[in-house]
Structure 1
Amino acid sequence: MNNQLTIRVVQGASLSEAARNHIIALCNKAYNEDLAPLFHTFVGASHVLGYYNSLLVSHALWVNRYLQVGNAPLLHTAYIEAVATDPVYHRRGFATAIMKYLVNEIQDYELAALSPFDVAFYERLGWELWRGPLYIRTNNGLLSSPADEQVMILRLPKTPPLNLSAPISAEWREGELW
């Protein structure tokens, strides 16, 4: 019996309905809520799947987004979503392994970002909390994000110098804005 985590990347478009449902069930269990509607908004997602003894136990995905710091050029961003590990398998380093693998896969992006469930977890992995105001870009201008919204970024090889206290915005999208 293999006690290692086996990790693979799968494009969302190539997932079978059964595999997609299995991923959603894992995330629902991890977050203790129904995330199925949210998964419909993850267009073009790349899924990172972690298997322990052939059982799916950990997951994360990234989608393409375009973040903008102040009025600087848009940054092609790998936006991380649905980082989840089956609660039965917590504290085994699986989420850390999934995130490290994911970061290795997104090195050609200009930036990585996410809305953290646990800031301390991501800080351990080198992510930085954005301190400036958060906005969503709409056709009618900038929409302020709720005060309790948090975003973390990870600098990648192509990341330009950033002022973490500057305003940052993301394009509007269906579902969760950040």
Structure 2
Amino acid sequence: MTEAHPTAPATPRPADVRLLHTADLAPATLTAARALLYDVFDDMTAEDWEHALGGLHALVHEDGELVGHASVVQRRLLHRGRALRCGYVEGVGVRADRRGRGHGAALMGALEPVIRGGYDLGALGASDEAAAFYAARGWELWRGPSWAFTPHGIRRTAEEDGCLYVLPTPATPLDLDADLTCDWRDGDLW
């Protein structure tokens, strides 16, 4: 066995990611995931947390503590007159003191096969800071205008343009310059 040089930084080992449906999460795990996301995001709302529920959660623990979370939930997106089953990614966050260890990549690496195997496409709204991370993983910027079905009809969501990324699947051709319309939900629509 080779000993690491004492001044060399430790090589991060791949994170062990658990995938569980919301219904299978213990109340303590749900509480820890919510607390983690509220700590990671200054502007996290009750609606944002609600958006992360009802699908599969990817969880990373270190030393018995939850340090990373992401989830994929089903939504419907309208593209070129077709309603697509979308695996929408929500609540991707890693505790500040555990970033840079590959946890975000491990979380997404667990969810992306689920999206490719179970949905017509994946989608997510990315912050400016996270855009390069998603692009490097093969997520593509949606260049066309974004819209949402609302109780008052279809409305333009121009503030989301330039922030939406999709993960195409081989079975679903996409025109990244066309309109993309999401289903209605409380809080942030995308």
- TM-score (ref. length: structure 2): 0.84
Please say which of residues 33-42 and 112-121 is displaced more in the overlay: 33-42
Distance 2:160 2:79 in 1: 19
**Pairwise CA distance, 1:4:** 4.4
Verify the 8 A CA contact 2:147 2:158 in the aligned structure 1: no
The alpha-carbon distance between structure 1 residues 156 and 36, as it changes in their structure 2 partners (threshold 3 A), is: same
Number of residue pairs matched? 175
Give the alignment's Cα RMSD to 1 decimal. 1.9
**Residue number among 134, 138, 150 corresponding to 1:138 in the alignment:** 150
**Per-residue Cα deviation, 1:141-160 (whole angstroms, up to 9, x for no partner):** 311003354210001233x2
Separation in 2, partners of 1:96, 1:41: 21
Shift of the 122–11 alpha-carbon distance from structure 1 to 2, 3 Å rule, reads: same
Q: Does the 8 A contact of 2:15 with 2:102 survive in 1?
A: no
Query: TM-score, normalized by length of structure 1?
Result: 0.89
Structure 2 unaligned spans of 5+: 1-11
Alignment partner of 1:92 is 2:98: no
Query: Partners in 2 of 1:30 and 1:43 — Cα distance?
Result: 17
> What's 2:113 paired with?
104
Residue of structure 1 in register with 2:80 after alignment: 70
| Structure 2 residue 65 is the aligned partner of structure 1 residue 52 | no
1:105-134 alpha-carbon deviations (Å, 9 max, x no partner) = 222211000001221110010000100000
Answer with 1 or 2: which has the greater Rg: 2
Question: Quick check: 105-114 or 128-137, which moved more?
Answer: 105-114
Letter in 2 for 1:96: A
Distance in 2 between the 1:94 and 1:42 partners?
18
Partner-residue secondary structure (3-state), 2:16: strand
Map 1:108-123 onto structure 2 (within 5 A): 108-117=118-127, 118-123=130-135
User: Identical aligned pairs, as a percentage?
Assistant: 31
Q: 2:186 aligns with which of 164, 174, 178?
A: 174
Aligned-partner residue type, residue 49 of structure 1: L
Distance 1:50 1:56 in 2: 6
C-alpha displacement of 1:37: 4.1
Cα displacement string for residues 25-84 of structure 1 (whole angstroms, at most 9, x for unaligned residues): 11111113444442234452211101123321111001100111132x111000000100
